[in-house]
Structure 1
């Protein structure tokens, strides 16, 4: 049985270091415009994103490179966790580790900073985020219209879900 949005939010908040204050979407977007720190946003809650370890960065970089090699001469490309994804019609903004989009993809803003229609999302598991990537992030990502694949990659063993 799936989790309700409330259940997901309660778990997300209980397992993250977050500001207890409820932020408006406008406040979140202003806060997240700071280039030094990235924040995810879940129904009014702001979650600071931690930096990644070397192994995590290496796996993410290799995935982006491999995908872009395969996508060469197509209207699509892959990028890393600097690209924000929004579940359209909600107040959920997340930063997947790897994102694939195409020319026809839709964006929430004119600066193309917030993608609404990713084709592929990849999360590289880490000790601090693994529980989120396979549970409620999965539930959020499953609601994205047109999402073809969501991959969860383990750092500690040869395993992709």
Structure 2
């Protein structure tokens, strides 16, 4: 089910970040914001929701109290390019940093961001979204989980601003997240899903 941008005035060619945040905090549905444009976010399939749930559970169990794992209701802001978005899963370790203000709803310093691909978002999540996310100084890993087959793409920050990508395929593979000092088996991520390997 697609969300409708009910809280935002229309038509309006440009929305300021302040207008976006004020309306978003009152909105019935979630919206992303980038360079003055507001985009309604759509609903998700069973596979997508199970994958997100499995990621949150798996990471939470392995991390314990070392880090906090947030679902897609936690908004993330990328100050370098102005993006406001809702990653499927965000992980932050140490002191959490939020956008100025009285609300603790816009995270600035995730260490790991995870997105689950759908047919409609695959190109964006694997390409342009990563280009925007990698501007977050604290970000060490960006993980993309395929919802059509058992495949995960792990982007990791190396020395300086260099990023490497590694592909994990099949239920026997294990996703490595050195910044969190943990490994997450793909059979945990794809629990209760019967997808081709």
- Tell me the TM-score normalised to structure 2 length: 0.68
Q: Indicate if the aligned counterparts of 1:23 and 1:46 stay in contact, CA closer than 8 A.
A: yes
2:195 is aligned to: none
What is the Cα deviation at residue 90 of structure 1?
3.7
- 1:68 aligned residue: 60
Contact 2:81–2:132 under 8 Å retained in 1: no
Equivalent runs, 1:1-161 vs 2, <5 Å = 21-74=13-66, 76-109=67-100, 110-161=102-153
Q: Supply the distance in 1 between the matched residues of 2:131 and 2:70 (Cα, whole angstroms).
A: 22
Q: Which has the higher strand share?
A: 2
CA distance in structure 2 between the aligned counterparts of 1:80 and 1:73, rounded to whole angstroms: 16
Q: CA deviation at 1:102?
A: 2.4
The 4+ residue runs of structure 1 with deviation greater than 6 A are: none
Which is higher, the Rg of structure 1 or of structure 2?
A: 2
Gaps of 5+ in 2: 1-10, 154-197
Cα distance change of structure 1 residues 65 and 35 upon mapping to structure 2, 3 Å threshold: farther
Residues in 2 aligned to 1:73 and 1:105: alpha-carbon distance in whole angstroms: 13
Deviates more, 1:28-37 or 1:56-65: 28-37
Q: Which has the higher helix share?
A: 1
Per the TM alignment, residue 77 of structure 1 is displaced from its structure 2 partner at its CA by 1.3
Structure 1: give runs of 5+ residues left out of the alignment. 1-18
Distance 2:27 2:63 in 1: 28
Number of aligned residue pairs = 143
